[in-house]
């Protein structure tokens, strides 16, 4: 049958061939990395260091006049990344950072079309273009493979954040934030605005409300107790003056962190930045944007919040409630080895379907799905959350008890050795491979460094350390191999004995949506009642003006300010992936190898022909491929098999491939010439390639179906 290709002499031969292919690695540093970081009279070079883990040189600068901090990373990666981030802590839920994030992308001094962002999405070769509002920072990243396109994007983004039209044209705030809308004096006033509407959507989602209540209750005394995205009930409190004052204070270069990454010329980066930054002077006293620390509180707090629900969901015995337990884990930054150990602990508790806490919650029958992703470390202090949704009121105490008891038991009896091995290997594999898929790698590096960069500035913390893992990893492995219990005491300290815990219960309320709508109507009625006739006329006029402006086309001159790449800027050569052809099993099986720098990881597809499968069995194929990894084999039960895959490989999957054959001279092939294959796809570090193929072989030939 189809499986015979892997039997007999095939396996060792594939193994040898793959090992040979994996030996193709790079020895010398690429020139772009070995080059000395440039100097520039406007910049002070603060530090230069190598991040060996990812073959990257990281230079840190300060722009002397404006005070902007810059990281310029030299890496042999054509997917170039730029980002500028500002610390934007809030003290209310007007959503000012979120509205500003939208607004700065609506045109600027140099780029005068209404929405340069939309124009760039249409006409650029960008591989990433977006903006994020976090609870304490706002971040504007772009990426492109094409150098000219990349610098176009950088120019537009720098001008957008530093000189936006939104500062001088209140129509942008009205459109993106909120405004009164009225067309006829006899009609009721309404609120409109892009962020206002977006956040109404967010606030109608029960799970969003759960996560919001969890964050706010975990950090009751800091900026995280407010909603930087904006609460629809609070957004209309924000005035245009407050909005521009927020930009003045927080979008100053002295409050920014600027990041460059890739294989472009580092001197061009500094020259371009100097153009944009030199008009600004660092203030004598920097804007107070430091994110304060939440002190650990030694009592469990309970929060009950309502969410809008249907009458059916709101019935007393309906399985519609949600429960989440949240812990604040630390006041001071963790030591690197503890940080790494905590990530492994999270994998042991929540990482896979067989992880103890996830499994206990998911299989408890107390709820419909697990909520809370376990460890979260993107804010100043780490948190841990777990819970269930779709819970009956009577089962809420049971679900809470189950989480606590599962954690207590794990801290007492410990984790199984093969579970620990699998979790450590899974993490190590992810760190080494740094496979970000379609997401630019440089952006992943920037987002990893940003927390340390914005939280620890005054302590002179080494930002690049955020990417380093070799030293803490070997320390962790040393402690584990000496027989030390690493995870159990950490679990006891950070979760079991830690009383800074909030228990958030979400209750369905069939009347809540109407209650919110009524409050909004009342507010709008009061506002209208307080308006003089000419105020009402003013709202009607500005409503019409805004609509006219929104419908108006950009002038050709304004559109022409948006830089574009032309045909001449495109690479004309097609990139060829090197391919070596050989055969296995006395010429019976073709082997294609692509020798590429893969940081020591071997990627393998074993492709088996399905032509001989009877048509009647074809509908079973999807079920078959998904069962292969889930049933275990005659030697390994399902959990042991999962752990072994985790311990020895970077993952193994099965899928089917259905393609039309290529015809003569590359033409479309005959309509009935279909290629149908079963694909076993896996990845492993070079010296584990044999283990990976053995596991594939065992699942293909010996799955307990």
Find tokens 């904006």 and name the residue: 230
State the nearest-atom distance from the C-beta of 195 to Zn ion, in Å: 6
State the nearest-atom distance from the C-beta of 99 to Zn ion, in Å: 9
State the nearest-atom distance from the C-beta of 607 to Zn ion, in Å: 44
Q: Cα–Cα distance between 574 and 525 in angstroms, integer?
A: 64
Q: Name the one range near Zn ion by CB under 5 A: 65-73, 166-174, 191-199, 406-414.
A: 191-199
Longest dimension (CA), the chain: 93
| Identity of the residue, 227 or 400, whose beta carbon is nearer to Zn ion in the bound complex | 227
Q: Which of 646, 655, 625, 641 is nearest to 688 (CA)?
A: 646
Q: Cα–Cα distance between 270 and 82 in angstroms, integer?
A: 12
Q: With CB under 5 A, what is the number of residues at the site for Zn ion?
A: 1
Q: Name the one range near Zn ion by CB under 5 A: 50-58, 184-192, 194-202, 277-285.
A: 194-202
| Coil vs helix vs strand at 111 | coil
Give, rounded to a whole angstrom, the gap between the first and last alpha carbons of the chain. Answer: 16
State the nearest-atom distance from the C-beta of 166 to Zn ion, in Å: 14
Backbone angles phi, psi at 79, to 5 degrees: -85, 85
The CB-nearest residue to Zn ion is 198
| Coil vs helix vs strand at 4 | helix
Q: Tell me, yes or no, if 176 is annotated catalytic.
A: yes
Q: Cα–Cα distance between 429 and 648 in angstroms, integer?
A: 10
HSE (side-chain half, CA atoms, 13 Å) at 236: 18
Q: Please, is 169 exposed, middle or buried when counting C-beta atoms within 10 Å of its C-beta (0-12, 13-18, 19+)?
A: middle
Q: Name the one range near Zn ion by CB under 5 A: 106-114, 195-203, 316-324, 468-476.
A: 195-203
| Identity of the residue, 198 or 554, whose beta carbon is nearer to Zn ion in the bound complex | 198
Q: Name the one range near Zn ion by CB under 5 A: 192-200, 315-323, 340-348, 555-563.
A: 192-200
Q: Report in angstroms the alpha-carbon separations of 453 from 60, 211, 252, 258, 574.
A: 11, 25, 17, 10, 39
Site string (196-235) toward Zn ion, x via CB under 5 A: --x-------------------------------------
State the nearest-atom distance from the C-beta of 40 to Zn ion, in Å: 36
- For 347-391, where are the alpha helices, taking DSSP H only? 356-362
Q: Cα–Cα distance between 431 and 437 in angstroms, integer?
A: 14
Site string (546-565) toward Zn ion, x via CB under 5 A: --------------------
State the nearest-atom distance from the C-beta of 636 to Zn ion, in Å: 47
State the nearest-atom distance from the C-beta of 174 to Zn ion, in Å: 16
Residues whose CB falls within 8 Å of the CB of residue 215, separated by 6 or more in sequence, listed in order: 135, 224, 383
b/e 218-241 (16+ beta carbons within 10 angstroms → b): bbeebbbbbbbbbbbeebbebeee
Which one from 69, 176, 400, 505 is the annotated catalytic residue? 176
| Identity of the residue, 202 or 546, whose beta carbon is nearer to Zn ion in the bound complex | 202
What dihedral do alpha carbons 71, 75, 78, 80 form, nearest 10°? -10
Q: Report in angstroms the alpha-carbon separations of 643 from 131, 353, 510, 652, 705.
A: 38, 11, 45, 12, 19
- Beta-sheet strand order (sheet of 674-685): 601-609, 674-685, 651-660
- For 219-316, where are the alpha helices, taking DSSP H only? 240-250, 266-277
| Identity of the residue, 67 or 97, whose beta carbon is nearer to Zn ion in the bound complex | 97
State the nearest-atom distance from the C-beta of 235 to Zn ion, in Å: 12
Q: Give the gyration radius of the chain's Cα atoms.
A: 29
Q: Cα–Cα distance between 331 and 610 in angstroms, integer?
A: 57
| Identity of the residue, 198 or 520, whose beta carbon is nearer to Zn ion in the bound complex | 198
Which one from 36, 52, 53, 101 is the annotated catalytic residue? 101
> CB–CB of 84/252 below 8 Å?
no
| Identity of the residue, 88 or 642, whose beta carbon is nearer to Zn ion in the bound complex | 88
Q: Tell me, yes or no, if 101 is annotated catalytic.
A: yes
State the nearest-atom distance from the C-beta of 98 to Zn ion, in Å: 6
β-strand pairing of 383-391 with 369-376: antiparallel
| Identity of the residue, 198 or 488, whose beta carbon is nearer to Zn ion in the bound complex | 198
Q: Report in angstroms the alpha-carbon separations of 90 from 173, 246, 280, 288, 376.
A: 18, 10, 24, 11, 20
Q: Cα–Cα distance between 67 and 86 in angstroms, integer?
A: 13
State the nearest-atom distance from the C-beta of 552 to Zn ion, in Å: 23
Q: Cα–Cα distance between 612 and 457 in angstroms, integer?
A: 64
State the nearest-atom distance from the C-beta of 362 to Zn ion, in Å: 32
| Identity of the residue, 37 or 229, whose beta carbon is nearer to Zn ion in the bound complex | 229
Q: Can you count the helices (H) and strands (E) in the chain?
A: 23, 20
Q: Cα–Cα distance between 693 and 683 in angstroms, integer?
A: 10
| Identity of the residue, 131 or 182, whose beta carbon is nearer to Zn ion in the bound complex | 131
| Identity of the residue, 86 or 487, whose beta carbon is nearer to Zn ion in the bound complex | 86
| Identity of the residue, 230 or 690, whose beta carbon is nearer to Zn ion in the bound complex | 230
| Identity of the residue, 198 or 292, whose beta carbon is nearer to Zn ion in the bound complex | 198
Tokens for 430? 């992810």
Q: Cα–Cα distance between 286 and 231 in angstroms, integer?
A: 29
State the nearest-atom distance from the C-beta of 138 to Zn ion, in Å: 11
Residues annotated as catalytic (active site), given as ranges: 101, 176
Q: Which residues bind Zn ion (CB under 5 A)?
A: 198
């Amino acid at each position: 049958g189809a499986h015979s290709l892997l039997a007999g002499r095939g396996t060792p031969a594939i193994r040898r061939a793959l090992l040979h292919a994996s030996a193709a690695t790079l020895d010398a540093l690429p020139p772009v990395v070995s080059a000395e970081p440039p100097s520039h009279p406007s910049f002070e070079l603060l530090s230069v260091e190598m991040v060996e883990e990812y073959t990257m040189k990281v230079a840190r600068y300060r722009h002397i006049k404006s005070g902007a901090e810059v990281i310029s990373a030299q890496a042999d990666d054509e997917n170039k990344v730029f980002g500028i981030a500002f610390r934007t802590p809030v003290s209310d839920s007007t959503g000012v950072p979120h509205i500003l994030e939208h607004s700065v992308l609506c045109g600027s001094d140099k780029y005068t079309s209404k929405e340069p962002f939309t124009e760039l999405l249409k006409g650029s070769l960008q591989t990433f273009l977006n903006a994020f509002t976090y609870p304490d920072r706002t971040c504007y990243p772009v990426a492109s493979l094409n150098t000219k396109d990349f610098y176009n994007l950088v120019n537009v983004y720098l001008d957008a954040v530093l000189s936006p039209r939104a500062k001088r044209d209140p129509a942008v705030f009205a459109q993106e934030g909120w405004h009164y809308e009225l067309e006829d004096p006899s009609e009721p006033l309404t609120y409109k605005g892009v962020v206002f509407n977006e956040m109404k959507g967010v606030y109608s989602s029960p799970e969003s409300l759960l996560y919001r209540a969890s964050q706010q209750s975990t950090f009751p005394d800091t900026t995280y107790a407010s909603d930087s995205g904006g609460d629809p009930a609070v957004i209309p409190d924000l005035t245009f003056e407050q909005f521009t004052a927020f930009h003045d204070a927080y979008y100053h270069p002295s409050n920014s962190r600027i990041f460059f990454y890739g294989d472009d010329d580092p001197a061009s980066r500094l020259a371009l930045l100097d153009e944009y930054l030199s008009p600004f002077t660092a203030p004598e006293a920097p804007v107070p944007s430091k994110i304060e620390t939440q002190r650990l509180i030694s009592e469990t707090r309970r929060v009950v919040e309502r969410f809008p629900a249907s009458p059916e969901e709101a019935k007393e015995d309906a399985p519609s409630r949600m429960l989440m337990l949240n812990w604040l884990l630390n006041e001071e930054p963790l030591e690197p080895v503890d940080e790494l150990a905590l990530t492994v602990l999270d994998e042991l508790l929540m990482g896979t379907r067989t992880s103890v806490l996830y499994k206990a919650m998911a299989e408890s029958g107390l709820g419909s799905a697990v909520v809370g992703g376990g460890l979260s470390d993107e804010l100043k202090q780490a948190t841990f959350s777990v819970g269930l949704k779709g819970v009956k009121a009577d089962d809420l105490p049971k679900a809470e008890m189950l989480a606590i008891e599962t954690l207590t038991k794990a801290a007492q009896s410990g984790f199984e050795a093969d579970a620990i091995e699998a979790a450590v290997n899974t993490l190590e594999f992810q760190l080494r491979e740094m496979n970000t898929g379609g997401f630019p790698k440089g952006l992943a590096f920037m987002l990893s460094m940003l927390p340390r960069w914005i939280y620890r500035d005054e302590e002179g913390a080494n930002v690049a350390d955020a990417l380093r893992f070799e030293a803490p990893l070997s320390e962790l492995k040393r402690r584990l191999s000496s027989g030390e219990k690493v995870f159990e005491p950490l679990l006891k300290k950070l979760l079991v004995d830690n009383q800074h815990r909030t228990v958030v219960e979400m209750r369905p309320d069939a009347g809540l949506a109407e209650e919110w709508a009524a409050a909004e109507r009342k507010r709008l009625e009061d506002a209208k009642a307080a308006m003089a006739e000419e105020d009402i006329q003013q709202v009607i006029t500005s409503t019409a003006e805004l609509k006219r402006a929104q419908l108006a086309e950009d002038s050709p001159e304004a559109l022409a300010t948006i830089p574009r790449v032309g045909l001449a800027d495109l690479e004309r050569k097609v990139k060829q992936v090197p391919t070596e052809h050989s055969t296995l099993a006395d010429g019976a099986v073709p082997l294609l190898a692509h020798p590429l720098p893969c940081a020591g990881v071997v990627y393998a597809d074993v492709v088996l022909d399905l032509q001989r499968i009877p048509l009647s069995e074809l509908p079973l194929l999807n079920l078959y491929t998904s069962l292969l990894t889930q049933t275990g084999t005659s030697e390994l039960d399902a959990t042991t098999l999962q752990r072994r895959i985790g311990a020895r490989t970077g993952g193994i999957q099965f899928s089917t491939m259905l393609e039309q054959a290529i015809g003569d001279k590359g033409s479309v092939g005959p309509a009935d010439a279909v290629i149908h294959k079963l694909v076993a796809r896996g990845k492993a570090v070079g010296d584990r390639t044999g283990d990976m193929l053995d596991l594939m072989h065992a699942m293909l030939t010996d799955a307990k179906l």
